[in-house]
A and B are shown apart, each in its own frame.
Chain A
Amino acid sequence: SPGRLGSAHQYKAFQESIQRQHALNSLPSDLLVEKGSATYGINQFSDLAPELFRATYLCSKPSELPKYKPFDSEVKRLH
């Protein structure tokens, strides 16, 4: 119930999480369900709206990096 989980927002987020987790656990039939595939379910983030989760926990950006070339790296190291 909302009272047990906290605010109405958290309760709504929790309900949406369950639906989302169900979707994540149901792979489309054209994709091979391989042994050992990840499972998704209720954890400590289940009462967070996805937007809030992203804003709070996903705060890094990739850098534009050169592609690794073994020879270049060796020359750089020797230099």
Chain B
Amino acid sequence: LPTRFDWRDKNVVTRVRNQGSCGGCWAFSVVEVIESAYAIKGKPLQTFSAQEVIDCSYKDGGCNGGSPVSALKWLNQTKTRLVTESMYPFKAKTGMCHHFPMSTFGISIKGYQAYSFRHKEEEMMHKLLEWGPLIAVVDAVSWQDYLGGIIQHHCSPEESNHAVVITGYDRTGDIPYWIVRNSWGSTWGIDGFVHIKMKRNVCGIADSVAAGFV
């Protein structure tokens, strides 16, 4: 494993988004890993529609909340094609599910994986390289006040409540950390990202991890 790795360096990570006052982090996390999986396959990097997942993943609660694994399951079972963000823009509220003609460009997933990597963050690093960016559900209560640096305290592995995307890790310094992408805009944290200490399941980073494949 390299000492430092970040999928952003491979130009397969789209810009940081802002979920606004919509509790749709779960949908953003799913769409973002699919965008990266698509780009890792050598296809053009483009943004797909989080609003489509918010409106159409019927077992989830739209802007009132949902589960990334439930959304991945829905995408895999129904083979729903994700259309581009420009076709189905983000509205920051739950709406009616729109369907598009087959001629409209979109991508469906071939499958997904979801595991707990608690006490296995070394294996998780391998999977980040093998699968692409990973969805994680974490405790982000203290992130309301986060400015920067490596989170090591003030969160719990037992209270997970927010879906994010792990794009990389860095073990070059004194404290190894995960590089985590959030969906609260690029003015939050470190250009929209947060760093979380590795190896102690800080904030529950390793408890609920998933990836989608295209």
Contacts and interface: CB of A to CB of B under 8 A. Distances in A.
Interface of A: 17, 20-21, 24, 27, 31, 34-41, 43-46, 48, 50, 53-63, 65-68, 70, 73
B187 A68 contact: no
A54 B161 contact: yes
Interface of A is mostly: loop
Interface stretch (B4-12, B96-104, B135-143): B135-143
Interface stretch (B32-40, B45-53, B79-87, B150-158): B150-158
A43 B116 contact: no
Interface of B is mostly: mixed
Contacts, number: 148
Contacts of A63: 67-70, 114, 137, 208
27 contacts: A17-B144, A31-B153, A35-B173, A35-B174, A36-B173, A39-B149, A40-B146, A43-B147, A43-B188, A44-B187, A45-B145, A45-B188, A48-B144, A59-B64, A59-B162, A60-B66, A60-B137, A60-B163, A61-B67, A62-B204, A62-B207, A63-B68, A65-B69, A65-B114, A65-B208, A66-B115, A68-B115
Contacts of B151: 38
Contacts of B175: 34-36
A38 B23 contact: no
B15 interface: no
Given A27-B153, A59-B25, A65-B208, A54 B174 contact: no
A17 B151 CA distance: 18
Given A57-B25, A68-B117, A68-B123, A17 B149 contact: no
A57 B184 contact: yes
Interface in B113-131: 113-118, 120, 123-124, 127
A61 B188 contact: no
A59 to B, nearest CB: 3
B145 A41 contact: yes
Contact of B25 (A21, A27, A40, A60): A60
- Residues of B in contact with A, size category: 35 or more
Contacts of A46: 145
A39 B36 CA distance: 30
B3 interface: no
B145 A20 contact: yes
